[in-house]
Amino acid sequence: MNNRQLYKVIGVRDLTDSTYTIKIERNNFQFVPGQCVNIGLPNDAVNREYSTYSGVNDQYLEFLIKEVTGGIVSPALHRLKKGSKVSVDGAYGLFTIPRPEAKKKYLFIGTGTGIAPFHSFVKSYPGLDYQVLHGIRTKDEQYDKKDYDAKRYVACISRGQSSDLRDQGIFRGRVTDYLRKNKVDPGTVCYLCGNSNMINEVYDTLQGQGLSGTNIISEVFF
């Protein structure tokens, strides 16, 4: 684990009214895709845990953050300007792919900003045979959709207009609705990240389709 250090902000990029990415200098920071990092402000003991969003070979570190109304850290990070400093501690966690294999099938299921570690997986391991199911409320929450193979990304949208259905890669309903209509091959390695209700329901659904618990790895975001 790295010691807590200060890193310079390269920039903050808005994705929606309340979701953004913060990009900071790399400074040889080492992590395994899927691991978490604690980020806070200098001279402030309060920090929050965020999954890495950037690829392992990128020259910078990037994190996908949802601003929490009334929160302490996420609104403060959102206001930072280029050249500001943040404190960083990590990386840690076991929500990783120990031995990425081109012959294996991977299914990444995330809700909201729970897609962050999967973005890091895809950027870090270009040879993966993967599919991303992204559970979101509205169409504008398809964070950096362009970074995924269009045939491998499905946004499961729980709200919005029926016209969304004409767009490639959009499914009207929740990720659990999608899985009930599109059964998963039992040999698939599944990673679940996001809210606990989704994870519990998806876990039961996948097991009901014959997947072993050893092939279902989860990380609760909220």
Q: How far apart are the first and last CA of the chain?
A: 24
Residue 1 — pLDDT band, cuts 50, 70, 90? very low
Distance of CA 220 to the CA centre of its chain: 11
CATH numbers and ranges of domains, the chain: 2-92 (2.40.30.10), 105-220 (3.40.50.80)
Whether residue 117 is predicted with pLDDT greater than 80 in this model: the reply is yes
Q: Are strands 19-25 and 47-51 parallel, antiparallel or unpaired?
A: unpaired
Residues in a beta bridge with 90 = 2, 37
pLDDT at 159: 81
Could you tell me which of 101, 25, 84 has the C-alpha nearest to residue 59? 25
pLDDT of residue 213: 95
pLDDT at 161: 57
Question: pLDDT, tens digit, for every residue of 205-215?
Answer: 999 999 999 99
Tell me what the mean pLDDT of segment 190-211 comes to: 96
Model confidence over 148-159: pLDDT tens digits?
Answer: 999 999 999 988
Q: What is the pLDDT of residue 45?
A: 84
